[in-house]
């Protein structure tokens, strides 16, 4: 039920200033949303909502939803625009994981659109001739790190399953922006300037991001006719137009022809690419079920383990300002990361103890390690129920802090949570068809063995690299109450877990939860976000025995809370995204 805004304001007894503000907000939702974000208030809506990393992407999604499209339709429009205006984070050349709560059936489906190692890849892909691991950026920049992209197939698959709108029309906003030009955002300009040396290494990439040899500046109008042409092929031919034919040819030429560091991706890899439906990984947490993406992502397993390890502790009573809360969260996270490093990889290639890692009795045993007062002196993987005649060596991987997250609720009650990536900022720095190609293969372990023992996440042909992406939907009594996720490489797990605890245990609204200063611990060092209240934890955590590092923590948490009173959206204040709803 909708009321004219001024009539509603008068009915609610609002002052004339407030009424005028509401009227202005109704005609300028982007400005209203930006103001809400600046004032740490959630955006409110009744029917639908989209939260994405750039106002133009949120707008594309909002227009689809307003016209009666589903969350899957809106995602297609949002992703196509993000690949243009936030090209450093995600796009057609990357991969993604998608969670779908179906408003009609109540079922959750998870889709794996992860990039895949070419058939010609070997476990020595990232080793030198003596078998030593390459330096990270030696591996990243060029064709070697490029896996078969999954995002175009995922967009098409989600649309085929759940879309109601015309596929080609959904790509229109991105095509129009690519042809008419869009303003380079402050974040894109800063990242281009900071990466100019690497972007200069590949001619197409240099021509696009460093026109005339100079980095794009904030506010420059950027056109991308090549991207528009690729989207037109997708519009008329569907995903096949990407995975075969001239677009596929140009990807293979760019990868194999990358100067200094060519890759082995071939036409057959593109032709055989498939989205995989995986079983959702759901973990109980107090009165909630926290559901997410299983392997090859470690996201839901790690988030579920951390929450499971904290079940026995009253975090609400302890509160967010108490260092004891952070000792528990930090060491629970270290324990989960130890298991992740040893056990989690692509289940199509290695058995992963998914059930065992979330088994309440296993977690109870691990949680006993948290009963002291100080930081755990050391942490090692546990022994979840599993065939332990299979030996895995530890293979921790970092995953870099690029990526993007999209949360959408539509007017049919569907909920979508999708994290999308090209891995490092600007991926492999190789471009084809107007988009950047991923460097996702560097999410594999560079070493294949340790002391003769194989590493689960080693490179193998056709395998998908382990991820930390954690698109999440939280349920209470069978109904979805929250969609959330973040970019941030291996920090994603900490960002999402903290926001969940902030919202569920500490009662923060979604905007406060995504904006809260970060404190996270993956591998022993406690990372505290500079310039935030998290810095105050430094001294008490050091007194407990933690090494502490203060620095930026550029999460990009995008959340929608779903309640009896409607929808509340939160967009991470560290990035440029907006929540738009109606
Ligand atoms: N490349 C980021 C991730 O998959 O976690």
CA 485 to CA 560: how far, in whole Å? 10
Nearest residue CA, atom 1 of ligand 1? 423
In a domain, 256, yes or no: no
In a domain, 21, yes or no: yes
Q: Tell whether the model's pLDDT for residue 8 goes beyond 80.
A: no
Q: Tokens representing 108?
A: 């959750």
Distances from the Cα of 103 to the Cα of 413, 416, 549, angstroms: 4, 10, 43
Report pTM: 0.95
Instruction: State what percent of residues in the chain have pLDDT above 90.
Output: 91
To which H or E segment does residue 79 belong? helix 71-85
The boundaries of the domain holding residue 14 are: 1-39
Q: Tell whether the model's pLDDT for residue 134 goes beyond 70.
A: yes
In a domain, 350, yes or no: no
Assess whether 383 carries a catalytic annotation: no
In DSSP terms, 528 is beta-bridged to 519, 550
pLDDT for res 5: 38
Q: Tokens representing 135?
A: 């330096």
In a domain, 259, yes or no: no
Q: Tell whether the model's pLDDT for residue 4 goes beyond 60.
A: no
Pairing of strands 566-571, 43-45: antiparallel
pLDDT for res 10: 44
Other C-beta atoms closer than 10 Å to the C-beta of 524 total: 16
**Pick the catalytic residue: 403, 404, 419, 442?**
403
In a domain, 12, yes or no: yes
Name all residues whose Cβ lies below 6 A of ligand 1: 399, 403, 421, 423, 443, 467-469, 489, 492
Buried b (16+ CB within 10 A) or exposed e, 329-355: bbbbbbbbbbbbbbbbbbbebbebbbe
Q: Tell whether the model's pLDDT for residue 1 goes beyond 80.
A: no
CA of 393 to the centre of ligand 1 (A): 21
Please give the tally of structural domains in the chain: 1
CA of 378 to the centre of ligand 1 (A): 26
CA 219 to CA 168: how far, in whole Å? 29
Cα torsion 504, 505, 507, 513: sign: negative
Q: Tokens representing 203?
A: 């001619």
Residues 417-443 have pLDDT tens digits of: 999 999 999 999 999 999 999 999 999
Q: Tell whether the model's pLDDT for residue 7 goes beyond 90.
A: no
Angle, CA 498 vertex, CA 494 and CA 500 arms, to 5°: 120
Segment 549-563 shows an average pLDDT of: 97
Q: Tell whether the model's pLDDT for residue 391 goes beyond 90.
A: no
Closest by CA to 572, choosing from 45, 33, 156, 174, is 33
In a domain, 155, yes or no: no
Q: Tokens representing 89?
A: 């984070």
Average pLDDT across the chain, whole number: 95
Q: In what order do the strands lie in the sheet with 276-278?
A: 276-278, 108-113, 95-101, 415-421, 404-409, 49-52, 578-581
Residues 148-184 have pLDDT tens digits of: 999 999 999 999 999 999 999 999 999 999 999 999 9
pLDDT for res 260: 86
Q: Tokens representing 235?
A: 């519009």
CA 470 to CA 303: how far, in whole Å? 8
pLDDT for res 397: 65
pLDDT for res 355: 97
Please say whether the beta carbons of 6 and 23 come within 8 A. Answer: yes
CA of 95 to the centre of ligand 1 (A): 9
CA of 53 to the centre of ligand 1 (A): 17
Residue from 443, 444, 554 to probe ligand 1 pocket by mutation (most atoms less than 8 Å from CB): 443
Q: Tokens representing 76?
A: 């297609």
Is the model more confident about 16 or about 306?
306
- Split at pLDDT 50, 70, 90, the class of 11 is very low
Q: Tell whether the model's pLDDT for residue 518 goes beyond 60.
A: yes
Angle, CA 441 vertex, CA 348 and CA 208 arms, to 5°: 140
pLDDT for res 16: 72
Q: Tell whether the model's pLDDT for residue 27 goes beyond 90.
A: no
Residues 350-389 have pLDDT tens digits of: 999 999 999 999 999 999 999 999 999 999 999 999 877 7
- Split at pLDDT 50, 70, 90, the class of 26 is confident
Nearest residue CA, atom 3 of ligand 1? 467
Please say whether the beta carbons of 237 and 462 come within 8 A. Answer: no
Segment 249-276 shows an average pLDDT of: 97
Residues 46-96 have pLDDT tens digits of: 999 999 999 999 999 999 999 999 999 999 999 999 999 999 999 999 999
Count of positions (residues) in the chain: 582
In a domain, 404, yes or no: no
Q: Tell whether the model's pLDDT for residue 409 goes beyond 70.
A: yes
Segment 274-290 shows an average pLDDT of: 98
pLDDT for res 3: 31
Query: 167-180 and 225-237 helices cross at what angle (nearest 10)?
Result: 170
CA of 363 to the centre of ligand 1 (A): 25
- Split at pLDDT 50, 70, 90, the class of 186 is very high
Cα end-to-end distance, the chain, whole Å: 11
Q: Tell whether the model's pLDDT for residue 225 goes beyond 90.
A: yes
- Split at pLDDT 50, 70, 90, the class of 6 is very low
In a domain, 488, yes or no: no
Give the CA diameter of the chain. 76
């Amino acid at each position: 039920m909708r009321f004219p805004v001024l009539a509603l304001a008068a009915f609610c007894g609002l002052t004339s200033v407030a009424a005028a503000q509401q009227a202005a907000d109704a005609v300028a939702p982007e400005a209203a949303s930006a103001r809400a974000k600046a004032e740490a208030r959630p955006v409110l809506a009744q029917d639908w909502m989209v939260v994405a990393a750039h106002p133009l992407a949120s707008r594309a999604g909002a227009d689809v939803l307003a016209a009666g499209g589903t969350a899957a339709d809106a995602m297609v429009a949002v992703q196509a625009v993000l690949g243009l205006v936030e090209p450093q984070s995600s796009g057609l050349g990357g991969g993604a994981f998608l969670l779908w709560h179906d408003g009609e059936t109540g079922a959750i489906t998870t889709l794996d659109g992860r990039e895949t190692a070419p058939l010609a890849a070997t476990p020595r892909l990232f080793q030198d001739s003596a078998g030593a691991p390459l330096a990270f950026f030696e591996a990243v920049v060029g064709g070697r790190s490029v896996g078969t992209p999954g995002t175009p197939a995922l967009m098409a698959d989600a649309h085929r399953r759940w879309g109601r709108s015309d596929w080609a029309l959904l790509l229109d906003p991105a095509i129009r922006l690519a042809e008419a030009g869009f303003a380079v955002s402050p974040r894109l300009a800063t990242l281009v300037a900071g990466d100019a040396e690497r972007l200069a290494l590949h001619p197409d990439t240099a021509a696009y991001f460093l026109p005339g040899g100079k980095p794009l500046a904030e506010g420059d109008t950027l056109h991308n006719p090549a991207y528009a042409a690729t989207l037109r092929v997708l519009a008329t031919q569907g995903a096949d137009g990407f995975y075969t034919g001239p677009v596929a040819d140009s990807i293979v030429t760019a990868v194999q022809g990358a100067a200094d560091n060519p890759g082995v991706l071939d036409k057959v890899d593109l032709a055989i690419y498939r989205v995989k439906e995986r079983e959702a990984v759901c973990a109980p947490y107090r009165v909630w079920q926290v559901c997410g993406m299983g392997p090859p992502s470690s996201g839901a397993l790690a988030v579920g383990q951390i929450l499971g390890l904290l079940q026995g502790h009253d975090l609400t009573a302890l509160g967010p300002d108490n260092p004891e809360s952070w000792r528990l969260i930090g060491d629970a996270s270290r324990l989960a990361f130890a298991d992740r490093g040893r056990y989690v990889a692509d289940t199509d290639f290695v058995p992963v103890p998914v059930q065992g890692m979330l088994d309440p009795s296993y977690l109870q045993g691990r949680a006993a390690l948290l009963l002291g007062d100080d930081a755990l002196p050391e942490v090692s993987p546990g022994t979840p129920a599993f065939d332990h005649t299979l030996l895995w060596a530890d293979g921790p991987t970092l995953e870099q802090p690029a990526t993007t997250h999209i949360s959408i609720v539509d007017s049919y009650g569907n909920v979508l949570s999708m994290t999308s990536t090209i891995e490092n900022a600007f991926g492999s720095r190789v471009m084809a068809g107007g988009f950047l190609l991923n460097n996702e293969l560097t999410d594999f372990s560079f070493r294949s063995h340790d002391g003769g023992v194989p590493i689960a996440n080693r490179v193998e042909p056709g395998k998908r690299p382990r991820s930390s992406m954690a698109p999440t939907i939280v349920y209470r009594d069978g109904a979805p109450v929250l969609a959330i996720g973040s970019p941030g490489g291996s920090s994603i797990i900490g960002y999402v877990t903290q926001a969940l605890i902030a919202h569920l245990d500490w009662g923060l609204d979604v905007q406060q939860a995504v904006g809260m200063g970060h404190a996270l611990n993956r591998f022993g060092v406690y990372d505290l976000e500079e310039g935030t209240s998290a810095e105050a934890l430094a001294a008490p955590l050091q007194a407990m025995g933690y090494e502490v590092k203060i620095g930026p923590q550029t999460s990009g948490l995008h959340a929608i809370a779903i309640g009896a009173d409607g929808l509340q959206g939160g967009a991470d204040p560290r990035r440029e995204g907006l929540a738009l709803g109606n």
